[in-house]
């Protein structure tokens, strides 16, 4: 567990870092407010502050409408490492994977997971297929396409309906669980028309909501398990968009994070083992968060989140704090991982 040591991290051998994040896109709204991608600004500011403390030169580069603009900034700045915080391009989450693709073509090392991992995890159905093929429990599912045709075998109610290719609980609210066919059809039509993509229909799994943050690669190390404790009166307990992002909402106040989670050692071991397997199977790198439902002491993986939110008040950082790791040391670790990979690259063409 040396990776989780409490001592000062050695400064990474890099002199210039480019912090890359996506510009905001306000054409999609959830609950009448800009979608959660605005959190990336707070992430960038937190990383900037950490780099300033390390006295490492850095430049913030915004991935906006013009691809040429941010590419020219990178070519001119010639960073040793890119701190990749991009979660979308032009407001499209599905394009997230293309940013590290470009960085690889430019031979610039970057933090976080590679393109294929980001692409697979962006598609909830593909993620679940990978998990199931490797013997990891995940809720049963099927997909409803734009034409309202189904791909997969329908299942008993209740079911939860989500956009197929979104994250941050976008498109999930307190009414996203269907108890009958009419509700299912209504929810699926709403997802398809609002988000212009298929809807994934998942078996609703009742149980404890756990988050496992994982750091590193050789080997990856789990941080203390966090739990979301539901205190509201809703029939179905889900982490909705409001519960995750809207701090003045009842849903937010009714989902209380507890870290470390209170689990028996054997159950905790089973949860951590499941999370680590999911991390490796999906090819996650540097850091990720695995969301799990614990039902009758069996862990069901709900989501695999590569490059998760790392704002100072995020769930990942909550687990980091519980492990006794300072934020600046965490940033050093991510840079160090990237620098080590960069040593294998020929950067003479940058």
Name residue, tokens 């470390």: 260
Which residues lie closer than 8 Å to 133 by C-beta, 6 or more apart? none
The predicted pLDDT at position 38 comes to 65
- Its pTM stands at 0.90
Q: How far apart are CA 327 and CA 314, in angstroms?
A: 12
Q: What is the b/e burial string over 6-39, where b = at least 16 CB atoms within 10 angstroms of the residue's CB?
A: eeebeebebeebbbbbbbebeebebeeeebbbeb
CA atoms within 13 A on the CB side of 339: 15
Q: Could you tell me which residue, 306 or 8, shows the higher pLDDT?
A: 306
Q: How far apart are CA 341 and CA 250, in angstroms?
A: 44
Q: What is the CATH number of the domain that holds 84?
A: 3.40.50.20
The predicted pLDDT at position 348 comes to 42
Residue 249 lies in a domain: no
The tokens describing 45, both together, are 């500011």
**Element (DSSP H or E) covering residue 208:** strand 208-215
Residue range of the domain that includes 103: 14-111+325-336
The predicted pLDDT at position 148 comes to 65
What's the pLDDT tens digit per position in 32-68?
Answer: 444 445 678 899 999 999 999 999 999 999 998 888 9
Confidence of residue 147 (pLDDT cuts 50, 70, 90): low
The predicted pLDDT at position 33 comes to 41
Residue 30 lies in a domain: yes
Residue 40 lies in a domain: yes
**Element (DSSP H or E) covering residue 130:** helix 124-133
Residue 282 lies in a domain: no
Residue 18 lies in a domain: yes
Residue 44 lies in a domain: yes
Residue 49 lies in a domain: yes
The tally of domains found in the chain comes to 1
Candidate from 66-70, 167-171, 200-204 with smallest mean pLDDT: 167-171
Burial group, residue 348, by CB count within 10 angstroms (0-12, 13-18, 19+): exposed
What's the pLDDT tens digit per position in 233-292?
Answer: 788 999 888 888 888 888 888 899 999 999 999 999 999 999 999 999 999 999 999 999
Q: Count of residues for the chain?
A: 350
What's the pLDDT tens digit per position in 96-141?
Answer: 999 999 999 999 999 999 999 999 999 999 999 999 999 999 999 9
């Amino acid at each position: 567990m040396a990776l989780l040591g409490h001592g000062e991290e050695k400064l990474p051998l890099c002199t210039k870092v480019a912090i890359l994040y996506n510009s905001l896109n306000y054409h999609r709204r959830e609950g009448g407010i800009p979608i959660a991608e605005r959190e990336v600004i707070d992430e960038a500011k937190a990383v900037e502050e950490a780099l300033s403390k390390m006295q490492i030169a850095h430049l913030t580069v915004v991935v906006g409408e013009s691809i040429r603009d941010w590419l020219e900034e990178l070519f001119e700045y010639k960073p040793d490492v890119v701190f990749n915080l991009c979660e979308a391009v032009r407001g499209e989450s599905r394009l997230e994977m293309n940013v590290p693709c470009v960085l690889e073509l430019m031979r610039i090392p970057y933090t976080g997971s590679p393109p294929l991992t980001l692409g697979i995890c962006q598609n909830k159905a593909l993620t679940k297929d990978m998990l199931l093929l490797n013997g990891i429990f995940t809720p049963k599912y099927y997909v409803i396409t734009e034409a309202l045709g189904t791909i997969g075998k329908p299942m008993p109610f209740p079911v939860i309906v989500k956009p197929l290719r979104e994250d941050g609980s976008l498109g999930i609210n307190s009414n996203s669980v269907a108890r009958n066919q009419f509700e299912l059809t209504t929810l699926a039509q709403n997802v398809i028309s609002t988000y212009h993509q298929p809807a994934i229909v998942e078996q609703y799994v009742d149980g404890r909501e756990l988050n496992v943050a994982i750091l590193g690669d050789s080997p990856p190390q789990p941080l203390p398990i966090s739990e979301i404790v539901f205190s509201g009166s809703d029939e179905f307990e889900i982490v909705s968009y409001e519960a995750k992002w809207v701090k003045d909402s009842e849903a937010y106040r009714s989902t209380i994070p507890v870290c470390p989670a209170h689990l028996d050692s054997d159950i905790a071991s089973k949860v951590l083992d499941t999370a680590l397997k999911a991390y490796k199977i999906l090819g996650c790198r540097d850091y990720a968060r695995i969301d799990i439902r614990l039902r009758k002491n069996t862990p069901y993986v709900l989501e695999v989140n590569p490059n998760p939110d790392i704002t100072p008040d995020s769930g990942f950082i909550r687990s980091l704090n519980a492990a006794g790791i300072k934020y600046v040391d965490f940033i050093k670790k991510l840079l160090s991982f990237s620098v080590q990979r960069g040593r294998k690259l020929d950067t003479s063409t940058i």
